[in-house]
Structure 1
Amino acid sequence: MALPKYKTSRANTHSRRANWKATAAATVNCPNCGAPALPHMACPSCGNYRGRTYRSAIQPAHTK
């Protein structure tokens, strides 16, 4: 295996690592309720996907 002949400076290391960025997840608006949801997934607000209800909406466990 090849080894580096010289030490890589901090500036070169940081400039190389500056391109490793996380991208935000793409969201679409739910056609049923209009809340943002991940594509090809059930809506977290109403539980609908492609006109069907797959689960009930998330309700808080304890309300005052």
Structure 2
Amino acid sequence: MAAPKSRTSHTRTRQRKAQWLGSLKSPGTTVCSSCGEVTQMHRACPECGHYRGRQAIEKKAEGEEKKRS
């Protein structure tokens, strides 16, 4: 196995780490065409349940919660 010829300096290490952290991107976001909320791309809207112009997830209205008996 190869061994390093000389020690890697703190500056070199930090530069490498900063470049790697800078390359990470946040997930793509888009605006829901139905309700206008910001959502992740290629996923149903968590607020209204729409995806690509149709209802993908049945969301209950705020007043219609399950009553425990």
TM range (shorter): 0.7 to 0.9
Deviation at 1:40, TM superposition (A): 1.1
Which residue pairs with 1:40 in the alignment? 42
The size of the alignment, in residue pairs, is: 60
Q: CA RMSD in A?
A: 2.1
* Matches of 1:36 and 1:26, distance apart in 2: 10
Identity among equivalent pairs (%): 41
Which residue pairs with 2:12 in the alignment? 12
Amino acid at match of 1:10: H
DSSP 3-state at the match of 1:18:
helix
Which one has a larger percent helix, Structure 1 or Structure 2? 2
Which residue pairs with 2:52 in the alignment? 50
DSSP 3-state at the match of 1:25:
coil
TM-score relative to the length of structure 2:
0.72
Unaligned 5+ residue runs, structure 1? Answer: none
TM-score relative to the length of structure 1:
0.77
Runs of 4+ in 1 over 6 A off after TM superposition: none
Amino acid at match of 1:38: Q
Unaligned 5+ residue runs, structure 2? Answer: none
